[in-house]
Amino acid sequence: MSVSIEIRKEDIGRILRITVNGRSLDTPHFFPVVRLGTRVSLKFDGGIWSSGVITSAYLLWKRGFSGDVHEGLGFEGVVMTDSGAYQTLAYKTPIKASPEEIVEYEKRINSDIAVILDEPIFPDDTYNEARRKAKETVKRAKEANVDDKRVRVMPLHGIERPDILKRMIENSDFERYKMAALGGVVPYMERYEYAPVVEATVIARDSLPSDVPLHVFGAGHPTLIPFLIAAGADTFDSASYALYAKDGRYLTPRGTYYLDDLTELPCMCPFCIGRDPQELKRDRKLLELHNYYVLLQETVRVREAIRLGRLREYLEHKARTHPAAMEAFKTLIRYKDLIKPRAARFRQRGMFIFDKLSLLRPDAPERPELPKADKVILVISRDPPLRRLKDFEGNTVIYVTPRGLVPAELSETYPFSQTELPESLREELIEERIKKAKEIRKEFEIVER
Ligand SMILES: [Zn+2]
């Protein structure tokens, strides 16, 4: 078997290793869009590096490219090929290749991760039109003569149309298609409407088999990517780094700026250090490389946050970079029941609680119910509490923690015993918990230790 997909770490975001014909990459991974010999093509020198790029099979086909795509691009890592249907149809240009031609062409040029030619759905399509297109894509996938020498990708559509998205997944064959890819994201990205994209990603992840990686087409902004990873996406691609550069726009982990608005470059990457905004404006290649560097850095940060069990804390930080990012974060909270089953049951590090929003974590266990005992002692304690249990033998003991009321037996388990939070918030929360407890039961003995 020339393809393997190995789950290396599972949590609300996960790490996979995808290996195709001896070439590997670890997810979450961002595939920069590269084009043969055009200005968009990235040169992988000067400190820039990627383990996988994406290019349009349709554009290569149109240009009459033959040979191995790795050699054509001068790139030895994993090459993903998109069918190019979305971009082409977005510009209202008809596709001249047939679905079979693209499937065969991707084999000939030795693509590692190959997408079939789909019928993209656009936000202004009617419901019936969207449903017809979804059926057509599923039919093409069934009829395609795919081989197992590469990862074949099943394109999915249905942002804001969850029933269409779910039905596409139900009717797809994930024995033949080892990977899925959500399309139609670009119009939402352009309007900074992150919530529908996050929502569709959560629904797709929940409906897909867990060993099928999920790609999101056209997701190329560092304020969105971390939320899509928590929503269940594994890989992304975009030409945003080059498109932004064309307009003199400079990416940062917190948002995009026009170079004309900047006095200094707030980045120390190899392309910015020692330069000023006008130098990057004059040399678009430098600006492209910087923009790509920011996207690459974002995926590395998220991978490392997953390894350290700190993705949730990282999301809380990112949520405050842009109102759209906060909306993405709140969308994750809204879907926490679908995300929760993926969360690690235990982490080596305690949770950081910053404010009340932090308490709505999808990765925390439910707070247990208050027991119906005759006599209950509420204990407010800052120390590891079990050591003091002897004092209360024969009673039902509940600890008042910032996360809620916790029976003594659970008080040393994750995450109740491992929470760090500001002292003022701790006091506020404890007071609220006691008030709540008094609403439920009248009789309490409150002990402060
Ligand atoms: Zn830079």
DSSP line for 105-121: HHHHTT-SEEE------
Each residue of 73-92: pLDDT tens digit?
888 889 999 988 877 777 78
0.85 exceeded by pTM: yes
Asked whether residue 209 is assigned to any structural domain, the reply reads yes
Asked whether residue 167 is assigned to any structural domain, the reply reads yes
Least confident interval from 182-196, 313-327, 383-397: 383-397
Are 69 and 130 in the same domain?
A: yes
Last residue of one domain, picked from the residues 287, 314, 340: 340
Give the separation between CA 131 and CA 58, rounded to whole angstroms: 24
Are 177 and 107 in the same domain?
A: yes
Mean pLDDT (whole number) for 171-184: 97
- Compute the mean pLDDT over every residue in the chain, rounded to the nearest whole number: 88
Distances (CA, A) of 15 to 38, 213, 296, 305, 437: 32, 10, 16, 11, 41
Asked whether residue 349 is assigned to any structural domain, the reply reads no
Which residue shows structure tokens 């074949």?
A: 152
Are 440 and 335 in the same domain?
A: no
What pLDDT sits at residue 394? 73
Among 258, 238, 251, which residue's Cα sits nearest to residue 290? 251
**Residue 39 in this model has a pLDDT that exceeds 50:** no
pLDDT band with cut points at 50, 70 and 90 for residue 1? low
What pLDDT sits at residue 216? 98
The rounded Å distance from CA 288 to ligand 1 centre is 10
Are 44 and 108 in the same domain?
A: yes
Are 323 and 396 in the same domain?
A: no
Phi, psi of 78 (to 5 degrees): -70, 130
Give the separation between CA 346 and CA 337, rounded to whole angstroms: 18
Give the separation between CA 410 and CA 389, rounded to whole angstroms: 12
Least confident interval from 2-6, 234-238, 378-382: 378-382
Which residue shows structure tokens 């999915």?
A: 156
What pLDDT sits at residue 181? 98
The rounded Å distance from CA 245 to ligand 1 centre is 12
What pLDDT sits at residue 207? 97
The rounded Å distance from CA 190 to ligand 1 centre is 23
Q: How many CA atoms lie within 13 A of 367 on its CB side?
A: 15
The rounded Å distance from CA 324 to ligand 1 centre is 23
Buried b (16+ CB within 10 A) or exposed e, 281-307: beeeebbbbbbbbbbbbbbebbbebbe
Asked whether residue 351 is assigned to any structural domain, the reply reads no
Give the separation between CA 96 and CA 103, rounded to whole angstroms: 14
**279 CB-contact burial (10 Å; exposed 0-12 / middle 13-18 / buried 19+):** middle
Are 267 and 405 in the same domain?
A: no
Percentage above 90 pLDDT, the chain: 64
Are 242 and 333 in the same domain?
A: yes
Are 225 and 325 in the same domain?
A: yes
Active site residue 206: no
What pLDDT sits at residue 42? 55
Sign of CA dihedral 253, 254, 256, 261: negative
The rounded Å distance from CA 292 to ligand 1 centre is 9
The rounded Å distance from CA 334 to ligand 1 centre is 35
pLDDT band with cut points at 50, 70 and 90 for residue 419? confident
Last residue of one domain, picked from the residues 340, 364, 389: 340
Catalytic residue among 82, 118, 234, 237: 82
Asked whether residue 362 is assigned to any structural domain, the reply reads no
Last residue of one domain, picked from the residues 282, 317, 340: 340
- β-pair partners for 446: 378
Are 380 and 335 in the same domain?
A: no
What pLDDT sits at residue 226? 97
Residue pair 325/223 in contact (Cβ under 8 Å)? The answer is yes
**What SS3 state is found at 4?**
strand
Residue pair 388/449 in contact (Cβ under 8 Å)? The answer is yes
Are 383 and 275 in the same domain?
A: no
DSSP state string for 403-428: TEEEEGGGTTSTTTTSEE--HHHHHH
Least confident interval from 246-250, 270-274, 331-335, 417-421: 417-421
- β-pair partners for 26: 17
The secondary structure element, H or E, covering residue 156 is: strand 151-156
Are 145 and 269 in the same domain?
A: yes
Asked whether residue 401 is assigned to any structural domain, the reply reads yes
Residues lying with their CB under 5 A of ligand 1, a single-atom ion? 267, 269, 272, 290
Each residue of 97-134: pLDDT tens digit?
999 999 999 999 999 999 999 999 999 999 999 999 99
**332 CB-contact burial (10 Å; exposed 0-12 / middle 13-18 / buried 19+):** buried
What is the CB neighbour count within 10 angstroms for residue 140? 20
Domain count, the chain: 2
The rounded Å distance from CA 69 to ligand 1 centre is 29
The rounded Å distance from CA 46 to ligand 1 centre is 12
The secondary structure element, H or E, covering residue 380 is: strand 376-380
Residue pair 121/144 in contact (Cβ under 8 Å)? The answer is no
Asked whether residue 136 is assigned to any structural domain, the reply reads yes
Secondary-structure percent of the chain, ordered helix, strand, coil, rounded to 5: 40, 20, 40
Are 304 and 406 in the same domain?
A: no
Q: Are strands 15-20 and 23-26 parallel, antiparallel or unpaired?
A: antiparallel
Phi, psi of 52 (to 5 degrees): -160, 135
Looking up residue 323, the CATH number of its domain turns out to be 3.20.20.105
DSSP code of residue 399: E
The rounded Å distance from CA 250 to ligand 1 centre is 9
Asked whether residue 79 is assigned to any structural domain, the reply reads yes
The rounded Å distance from CA 328 to ligand 1 centre is 26
DSSP code of residue 33: B
Residue numbers of the domain that contains 289: 3-340
Give the separation between CA 181 and CA 235, rounded to whole angstroms: 9
Each residue of 152-174: pLDDT tens digit?
999 999 999 999 999 999 999 99
Among 106, 86, 99, which residue's Cα sits nearest to residue 140? 99
What pLDDT sits at residue 41? 46
The rounded Å distance from CA 259 to ligand 1 centre is 12
The rounded Å distance from CA 261 to ligand 1 centre is 16
